[in-house]
Amino acid sequence: MVAANAMLVVKGALIGGCMIVPGMSAGTVMILCGLYGVLIGHISGFYKSKQQFLDAIKFVIPLAIGAIIGILALSHGLEFLIEKFALPVFALFAGLVLGSVPLVIESTYKKPVIARNEAIPNGPPFKVWHLIPAIIACALVICFAVFSAPETEVKDLSVTTGIMFIVAGAITTAAMLIPGISGAFLLILIGYYNTVLDAVNTFNIPILALFVLGAPIGLFVAAKGIGFFLRRFKIMSYMAIVGFLVGSVVGIFLYPGTYDSATNALGIVAAAILFVIGFALVVMLSKFQKNKEEIFKI
């Protein structure tokens, strides 16, 4: 039990660190850690019985502790790296996101089983119409990136800004459960990323409290919605996730802040190398993921 909780804290730290990285999807990391379907199942069914509630609490608490550790550990360093080496850093994030696409596709279309020298289908066959949800999801993310809002400067809290921080918290945590969607990137799109990151670094309790207040709302709504679609529209959901992943990569390079620093020749070469490293790293890690067909099972 202690070892299992310790591992949940470690995985939570990885997820928390990714939550504040623009372009990096915490949902993708959950897939690689084998937590995705389990977490959604706990959140969406915690109210059904006392035992399910207790199981959800036991699972979520060490994960949340790890996430807080990851956020605090990475926030200062990330702010410095983005300021000095934006292009290489975002290129690494893009590679990490794109590298998870093969894992999702492999989970969607299982490889045929070879028996008696004959290939027996082990999953649904690919059809052209399966690309439609992927294209729509990809286009939505790109549109968000193109029409992102300017950064909002919050000097004093008011009722309006307070509500916006609650909404931002709900949106960010909901995005955490959608593979391919970066909660931090969504914060950039609605113009609250720098404000929230600065609040973490300076321990601005009022802003952080409002942000955290929206988290349970986003988690519950997203878990129920995602759980419904994964059960009822499996192929469409999986392919939409692929679209979100690809769209996030495109969105990273469309985001103007990507080119704020290190856009010289050396920076471009470093960005290309880090992109390949990020992609290869996730692909290699996914090879160790057992039961790939179960990663979305709820």
Which pair of structure tokens corresponds to residue 289? 């993921």
pLDDT beyond 60 at 289: no
Give the pLDDT score at 119: 47
pLDDT-wise least confident of 57-61, 94-98, 277-281, 284-288:
284-288
Give the pLDDT score at 152: 64
Average pLDDT over residues 58-76: 83
Q: Are 58 and 8 in contact, with CB atoms under 8 Å apart?
A: no
Q: In the structure, what pLDDT confidence band is assigned to residue 272 with cuts at 50, 70 and 90? A: very high
CA 178 from centroid of its chain's CA atoms:
6
Average pLDDT over residues 75-104: 82
Give the pLDDT score at 117: 53
Give the pLDDT score at 290: 52
Q: In the structure, what pLDDT confidence band is assigned to residue 221 with cuts at 50, 70 and 90? A: confident
Bigger pLDDT: 120 vs 72: 72
| Residues with Cβ within 8 Å of residue 201, at least 6 apart in sequence | 75, 76, 79
Question: CA 273, CA 275: separation in Å to the nearest integer?
Answer: 5
Give the pLDDT score at 275: 94
Average pLDDT over residues 36-64: 79
Mean pLDDT of the chain: 78
49 CB-contact burial (10 Å; exposed 0-12 / middle 13-18 / buried 19+): exposed
Bigger pLDDT: 175 vs 116: 175
Q: Are 226 and 296 in contact, with CB atoms under 8 Å apart?
A: no
Q: In the structure, what pLDDT confidence band is assigned to residue 163 with cuts at 50, 70 and 90? A: confident
**Residue 295, phi then psi, degrees to nearest 5:** -65, -25
The owner of tokens 């949902």 is 27
Give the pLDDT score at 115: 47
Question: CA 196, CA 192: separation in Å to the nearest integer?
Answer: 6
Q: What is the DSSP string of the chain?
A: -HHHHHHHHHHHHHHHHHHTSTT--HHHHHHHHT-HHHHHHHHHHTTS-HHHHHHHHHHHHHHHHHHHHHHHHHHHHHHHHHHHHHHHHHHHHHHHHHTTHHHHHHHHSPPPEEETTEEE--SPPP-GGGHHHHHHHHHHHHHHHHTPPPPP--SS--HHHHHHHHHHHHHHHHHHTSTT--HHHHHHHHT-HHHHHHHHHHT-HHHHHHHHHTHHHHHHHHHHHHHHHHHH-HHHHHHHHHHHHHHHHHHHHHSGGGGSS--SHHHHHHHHHHHHHHHHHHHHHHHT-S-GGGTT--
Average pLDDT over residues 66-71: 85
Which among 46-60, 138-152, 181-195, 269-283 has the top mean pLDDT? 269-283
Give the pLDDT score at 111: 60
pLDDT beyond 60 at 124: yes
pLDDT beyond 60 at 86: yes
Q: In the structure, what pLDDT confidence band is assigned to residue 21 with cuts at 50, 70 and 90? A: confident
pLDDT-wise least confident of 96-110, 118-132, 196-210:
118-132
Give the pLDDT score at 266: 93
Which pair of structure tokens corresponds to residue 23? 């372009």
pLDDT beyond 80 at 176: no
Q: In the structure, what pLDDT confidence band is assigned to residue 273 with cuts at 50, 70 and 90? A: very high
The owner of tokens 């006392």 is 50
